[in-house]
Structure 1
Amino acid sequence: MYFFFSGALLSVSSAQTRQFYFVNTPLNWRDAQSVCRQNYTDLATIENTADVSISNWTVNPRKAWIGLHDDIVNSWRWSLSDSSFYGDGESTYWNWYPGEPNNYDGQQLCVHFYGAVNDLWDNYCSVEYSFVCYTALLQNLYIFLSEW
């Protein structure tokens, strides 16, 4: 996006940062998602190793729901389905524990993060765990490019 101001060209871009919140109230995945969407942005999306470190810090050594789930149609996806939110490769960063996901009984469609080992595990969505939410914060950056 560009704006023209009396002889100057100004570029506006947005940078997104996330703040994570550990909620120490055991709920099933759907209820946890609902709480996160009502009070924050959504269940946590882990996009890279930095997010794993942050999530581990908030969860360690507990198990906690995050936003990854299997919607059966498109396979594994994050709770926040807005594809414009993700950068290159970020929507497919999944650090599975060895042997996971195993979709035991064909019913393990939700994912929890296990802080003790920094890995993801699939599980039944009805199990109650604490959970990690996040708030997305947009920051506009204004960059002066040139004069006319």
Structure 2
Amino acid sequence: MFVRLCTLPSCFPRQYHLVEEEKTWREARTHCRQHHKDLATVASKEEVDTLNDVLTKHDHDDVWIGLHRRWRWMWKEGQPDNYRNKNCTVLKDEKWWDYHCNYKLFTLCLLFESL
């Protein structure tokens, strides 16, 4: 499944691909880098809302994503808690959560990002 977003004010299109095959975070990152660009990163609240709508329509609660520190406000309250070495990031309920990297989840890959 492909999703194209245009967020304001920058309005640069991004395309994502949902990989509906369960993988660990490392497997997900490897898959995204080999077949697409990388794990999806989210650049705005509008993108989170759009992606959450897509995931809800496809009956998915959480997916592996990549992460950039500059978007700290997107963490779920109380996250990251790094409890028992949870070092990877999941998009769930419109927020970021830290998860154990060996969990098997679906993956959101970044296909394209114009500059």
Gaps of 5+ in 1: 1-14, 69-77, 79-90, 140-148
1:119 maps to what in 2?
95
Which structure's residues are more often helix, by fraction?
Answer: 2
CA-to-partner distance for each residue in 1:59-111, whole Å, 9 max, x for gaps?
Answer: 2241100012xxxxxxxxx4xxxxxxxxxxxx511311111100002x11100
2:33 maps to what in 1?
37
In structure 2, distance between residues paired with 1:138 and 1:127 = 31
Percent of residue pairs bearing the same amino acid type: 29
Q: Is the 8 A contact 2:64 2:89 kept in 1?
A: yes
SS, match of residue 66 in structure 2: strand
In structure 2, distance between residues paired with 1:109 and 1:100 = 11
1:135 maps to what in 2?
111
Q: Is 2:67 the partner of 1:48? A: no
SS, match of residue 35 in structure 1: helix
TM-score between the two structures when normalised by the length of structure 2: 0.78
Which structure's residues are more often strand, by fraction?
Answer: 1
In structure 2, distance between residues paired with 1:45 and 1:31 = 17
In structure 2, distance between residues paired with 1:137 and 1:49 = 17
1:101 maps to what in 2?
80
In structure 2, distance between residues paired with 1:131 and 1:43 = 8
Q: Calculate the aligned-residue CA RMSD, in Å.
A: 1.8
In structure 1, distance between residues paired with 2:111 and 2:76 = 26
TM-score between the two structures when normalised by the length of structure 1: 0.62
Q: Is the 8 A contact 1:22 1:58 kept in 2?
A: no
CA 1:51 to 1:101, structure 2 compared with 1: closer, same or farther past 3 Å?
same
Greater C-alpha radius of gyration: 1
Q: Which runs of 4+ in 1 moved over 6 A?
A: none
Matching residue's letter, 2:110: Y
| Paired positions, count | 101
SS, match of residue 55 in structure 1: helix
